[in-house]
Amino acid sequence: MTNQSSIIIAIDGPAASGKGTLAKRLANFYDFSHLDTGILYRGVGWLVLAADGDPRDEETATRVARDFSLDRLEQADIRNADVARAASIVAAMPGVRAALLDFQRQFAKSPPAGYFGAVLDGRDIGTVVCPDATVKFYITASPEVRAHRRWLELRLSSPGISEEEVLDSLKRRDARDSGRDAAPLRPAKNAELIDTSALTADEVFSRARRIVDQKIKNLPQQD
Ligand code: DC
């Protein structure tokens, strides 16, 4: 038998690259628990804004991150553009990142009862949070393709929003996520790279599945 509980799939990549869709599908398929770690940074951004705080104030954001728990987000609208912006500001703060690290590692190491492993997606999972993950993916796509996907989602909640605006804010967020000193977005050295620009979600899933199956097959056997 392999030691199933130690299987960790780390998925990193920029916004709207398809990493969240892949993470959910892999988690469902393998019966692993899933954590979208972006929720944690969005959650901190939302809590700071909800208390009329300034996300650029590192002391406040770090305090909020230290007290953070997922149940504080019930009914929070963490998907809007203001929260996304606040999230990418607080995500650049070393104190905020340090405060959220233990929770993510704990989730990865000890998935909730009934699950055989964990899938975490974010920006620094393979590089910082789980450097020893069983499989690491770096999922990307061209900025134009990603902006188009995001626009298709956003135009329902924000009618009139243009694709150029979405592309613009996506590029600004990419620059903040990749240009920061604390855990910048970049592929882990041993990450499997998948460019989803010209692939369907099914194609991305089958490629990733083949890679995960192979890695699991090659894991040392345990008694
Ligand atoms: O994936 P997302 O758009 O929900 O992430 C929100 C912000 O949080 C984004 O600016 C990147 C940041 N983030 C991060 O720095 N590290 C992670 N592991 C996940 C998200």
| 214 CA from centroid of ligand 1 (Å) | 29
In a domain, 90, yes or no: yes
Could you tell me which residues come within 8 angstroms of residue 39 by beta carbon, excluding any fewer than 6 positions away?
70, 73, 78
In a domain, 222, yes or no: no
Q: Measuring from atom 9 of ligand 1, which residue has the nearest CA?
A: 88
For the segment 128-147, the average pLDDT, to the nearest whole number, is 97
In a domain, 176, yes or no: yes
In a domain, 56, yes or no: yes
- Please determine, for residue 38, whether its predicted confidence score (pLDDT) is greater than 50: yes
The model's confidence at residue 15, banded by pLDDT at 50, 70 and 90, is very high
pLDDT the model gives residue 72: 86
- What integer best gives the mean pLDDT of the chain? 92
- Please determine, for residue 3, whether its predicted confidence score (pLDDT) is greater than 70: no
For the segment 16-28, the average pLDDT, to the nearest whole number, is 97
Mutate to test the pocket of ligand 1, among 37, 41, 166 (most ligand atoms within 8 A of CB): 41
d(CA 126, CA 31): 20
In a domain, 218, yes or no: no
End-to-end alpha-carbon separation of the chain, Å? 6
In a domain, 219, yes or no: no
pLDDT the model gives residue 157: 81
pLDDT the model gives residue 2: 40
For the segment 40-67, the average pLDDT, to the nearest whole number, is 97
- Please determine, for residue 223, whether its predicted confidence score (pLDDT) is greater than 70: no
Ligand 1, residue 124: give the atom nearest the CA: 18
Q: Ligand 1 pocket by C-beta < 6 Å: which residues?
A: 15, 37-38, 41-42, 84, 87-88, 91, 122-125, 173, 177
Mutate to test the pocket of ligand 1, among 107, 150, 177, 181 (most ligand atoms within 8 A of CB): 177
Provide the domain count of the chain. 1
Q: Measuring from atom 1 of ligand 1, which residue has the nearest CA?
A: 38
For the segment 136-151, the average pLDDT, to the nearest whole number, is 96
- Please determine, for residue 1, whether its predicted confidence score (pLDDT) is greater than 50: no
- DSSP, res 220: P
The per-residue pLDDT for range 154-200, each reduced to its tens digit, is 888 888 999 999 999 999 989 988 999 999 999 999 999 999 999 99
Range of the domain at 147: 7-210
Cα 82 to Cα 17, 35, 78: the distances in Å are 20, 22, 9
Residue 135 identity (one-letter amino acid): V
In a domain, 223, yes or no: no
| 33 CA from centroid of ligand 1 (Å) | 19
- Please determine, for residue 120, whether its predicted confidence score (pLDDT) is greater than 70: yes
The per-residue pLDDT for range 64-102, each reduced to its tens digit, is 999 999 988 888 889 888 898 899 899 999 999 999 999
Ligand 1, residue 104: give the atom nearest the CA: 18
Q: Measuring from atom 18 of ligand 1, which residue has the nearest CA?
A: 122
- DSSP, res 86: H
In a domain, 220, yes or no: no
We report the CATH number of the domain holding residue 150 as: 3.40.50.300
- Please determine, for residue 222, whether its predicted confidence score (pLDDT) is greater than 70: no
Crossing angle (nearest 10°) for helices 94-109 and 38-50: 130
